[in-house]
Amino acid sequence: MADRGLFGGKKIGFGNNVSFSERKTRRTWMPNVQQKRLWSDCFDTMIKLRITTSVLKTIDKHGGLDNYLVNTADVKLDSALGVKLKQMV
């Protein structure tokens, strides 16, 4: 588990760009990571996190950062920071 932020299981993807002539060139797909400040009701403060947009949508679905941390399994958080925040909540 890296202490990189809340990525929700997203990792760097690898593959090929394939041209019309079927030449293949390697490329990578990076997760869409944003620097966000999210409100925490438990801590009564803003928490600055590196977070993917898919996790941001999931946080909205759960109704806030605290609910997301409580209702998400440690394996899915996949981050030492996420597990630490979950234990503090």
| Angle made by CA atoms 25, 30, 32, in degrees to the nearest 5 | 145
What is the distance between the alpha carbons of residues 64 and 41, in angstroms, rounded to a whole number?
9
Asked whether residue 7 is assigned to any structural domain, the reply reads no
Asked whether residue 49 is assigned to any structural domain, the reply reads yes
Q: pTM for the complete prediction?
A: 0.82
Domain that holds residue 53: 13-88
Q: For 68-89, what is each residue's pLDDT tens digit?
A: 999 988 888 888 888 888 888 8
Say which CATH number the domain at 53 has: 2.30.170.40
Number of domains observed in the structure of the chain: 1
Asked whether residue 1 is assigned to any structural domain, the reply reads no
The dihedral built from the CA positions of residue 2, 68, 48 and 52, taken in this order, carries a sign that is positive
- As given in the structure block, the two tokens for residue 78 are 């996949």
Give the distance, in angstroms, between the CA of residue 84 and the centroid of all CA atoms in the same chain.
15
Q: For 14-72, what is each residue's pLDDT tens digit?
A: 999 999 999 999 999 999 999 999 999 988 999 999 999 999 999 999 999 999 999 98
Residue labelled with tokens 């809340």: 6
